[in-house]
Amino acid sequence: MAIDWAWIRAERLKEEGKTYEALQLHLTICTLAPRFPKVWSYAAWDMAYNISVTQYMPETRWQWVKNGISILRDKGIPYNPRSVTLYKELAWIYWHKIGDFLDDEHMNYKRALAIEMERVLGPPPIVLNDQEYLDWFRKIVEAPDDPRELLRQDPETEALANRLHGVGLELDESLLDFIARHVRPELAVSDLVKEKLTEDPLTARRLEIVTDADVAAPLDRLLAAVRSKVLREQYKLDPEWMMHLMADQYGPLDWRNAFSHSLYWASLGDKIGKGYENANPSDAMNAARFVFFSLNNLINRGRVSLDPNFDDPFSSYIELTPDTRFIPYLYETYMRLGKEQFGDDPRYIEGTPGPQYMTGFVTNMHNWIELLYLEGGEQNLKLAVNFYAWLRENNPHPNGTTQERYLQTLDEFVMGDILAQLQTFRAVGAILRSFIRRALKQFALAQTEAGITSMIRARQCYDYWMAATTGDLNERRKMQHPQKLFRDEIYAFMKDRQVDALFKARLWRRLPLEQRRMTYDELSPYFEKLCEAQQPPWALERAFTEPVGMEQFRRAGIERRNELQQEDAERGQRYKP
């Protein structure tokens, strides 16, 4: 009776706009029935969906989405560790509320989550291959759960911790926040930025410590331990499971992306639910499906470009672009889970994902073929040809004959689908960026005419889509400016481990001066490492020459940002790049 009364009262309070009182009643209900998963899932849904949309400011909306996540992650799952339902619900919030774009504030949710995770893990490391990324994360996995244990074992880190304590940096998020803000690869090349950072004496003292080459190794070990502690205690993320997903199943994941988190919780729920008799069959099936959904969205929007603003996360620049590296992983996951779940079904055919998954699998495969074809490259084209052959053989008409659309050439098949899909936001973004990336490859190969053609197609896609969004009142369906899209694809192309270093150097020389200026500061540390890795090493100043006029360009950028922020302060509005 107490639960019934509290539930009715909570609903009335919510209707009256008394959301915080409703929250307390929901917590009371969960406390009275902690082993009943449905009360946790309902409370989380109410906070993340029903209450959040009644708020007007993005800060408060995001806080209610976080409340929904927290009540499941921090309380519901610990009380019900075998409840597949709660893992599924948590994966859903990350996948749908944050990762998808149906909420008007979805971009702000993405910005806020990305800033949170970059504060914890720092900016992604500069690496030349997947193994280097995994080695970087393995330090977090192998670090002691408690940094104090590390200090007892390691005198160097203890001495460093004492120095940091002397400048107000403790072994918690304060240290991680300072490192994320100031010790960034792209800032290392800008003397102007250094001058700005060291105007504050305390910041200067802190920077002197953390940038001291003599403490680089102990600082690395100390940060790994602090990152491990924050991941485990604040975000309830198990670094070992994160590592398992990356090293054994899906390759490096960018944890600033909501779909990486939905993949984490869905795959963990799928693992825990196996062999558990009391698992809800529907929720168990949906938990497995969220593994598919998460990987598919990582294919379409897995690469994160972030220009963080730690003081005002909602003013950060973020862009999510396709990452075709996940395509083989999703293909293998379909085959593995399909056989696990439907291998005993008489309709199951070896080498397929099973009858229940077939429709979604075929739809996704069409998308993979287009992305691989447009991105180009020998390996991608070979994979696209193999997938096209699979469709021809395994997706016939009901009478067993080959579908006519699979009797075309691969070129005809892809271009026909592109014209049919220019009506959707996701497809336009993927196609647009694929044309830009293709143009970059063509320019690197000195195929100037073909590159210009690809850029014209990209601009046509952009203009076609933006003409349909002129009546939108917010940015929900709008693309970033073409200049920013071009910049982000230059970043991605230069850091792509499948592109030969020589082609990157050739492209750099052929890019317009303005594009080189826009990208040089962020790419410079990567260029340095790339040149050092060559045998024999390349001369950085010859392979990737600094564009002329960089200091003036940097000054103009800082002055312009200051002007915009001042204008917004006067208007009382948040700056949005």
- Percent of the chain as helix, strand, coil, to the nearest 5: 70, 0, 25
**Which amino acid is present at 112?**
A
Positive or negative, the CA dihedral 246, 247, 248, 251 is positive
Would you state the pLDDT for residue 87? 93
Alpha-carbon distance of 577 to 574, in angstroms, equals: 10
**How sure is the predictor about 384, in pLDDT bands with cuts at 50, 70 and 90?**
very high
Output the DSSP codes for 459-485: HHHHHHHHHTTTT-SSSTTPPPPHHHH
The tens digit of pLDDT for each residue in 333-362 reads 999 888 888 888 888 888 899 888 899 899
Q: Average pLDDT over the chain, rounded to whole? A: 85
Per-residue tokens: 517:
């200026």
Per-residue tokens: 455:
């850029």
Backbone phi and psi for residue 167, each to the nearest 5 degrees, phi listed first: -115, 20
Class of domain 2-116+255-296: mainly alpha
Structural contact between residues 253 and 245, judged by C-beta atoms closer than 8 angstroms: yes
Between these two residues, 387 and 36, which has the higher pLDDT value?
387
Would you state the pLDDT for residue 281? 65
> How many C-beta atoms lie closer than 10 Å to residue 45's C-beta?
17
Cross-strand bridge partners of residue 307 = 317
**How sure is the predictor about 228, in pLDDT bands with cuts at 50, 70 and 90?**
very high
Q: Is 351 left (phi over 0), alpha (psi -120 to 50) or beta?
A: left
Would you state the pLDDT for residue 132? 93
361: CB partners within 8 A, 6+ apart: 334, 352, 353
Alpha-carbon distance of 394 to 290, in angstroms, equals: 24
Q: Of the given ranges (28-32, 235-239, 476-480, 548-552), which has the lowest mean pLDDT?
A: 476-480
Q: Which long-range contacts (CB under 8 A, 24 or more apart) does 56-63 make?
A: 58/105, 58/108, 58/314, 59/314, 61/105, 61/108, 61/109, 62/105, 62/108, 62/109, 62/112
Alpha-carbon distance of 111 to 556, in angstroms, equals: 25
Would you state the pLDDT for residue 16? 67
Would you state the pLDDT for residue 91? 95
> Any idea where the domains of the chain sit in the sequence?
2-116+255-296, 130-233
Q: Is 146 exposed, middle or buried (0-12, 13-18, 19+ CB in 10 A)?
A: middle
Per-residue tokens: 128:
């030349």
Structural contact between residues 324 and 343, judged by C-beta atoms closer than 8 angstroms: no
Would you state the pLDDT for residue 191? 46
Q: How far is CA 463 from CA 57, 134, 393, 451, 480, in A?
A: 31, 40, 38, 18, 12
Task: Name the DSSP class of 186.
Answer: G
Alpha-carbon distance of 393 to 174, in angstroms, equals: 57
- Please tell me the pTM assigned to this model: 0.80
Portion of the chain with pLDDT greater than 70, in percent: 87
Cis peptide before 536 (omega within 30 of 0): yes
Would you state the pLDDT for residue 534? 87
* For residues 39-57, average pLDDT: 88
Q: Of the given ranges (384-393, 394-403, 458-467, 522-531), which has the lowest mean pLDDT?
A: 458-467
SS3 395: coil
Between these two residues, 30 and 109, which has the higher pLDDT value?
109
Would you state the pLDDT for residue 234? 95
Backbone phi and psi for residue 7, each to the nearest 5 degrees, phi listed first: -65, -45
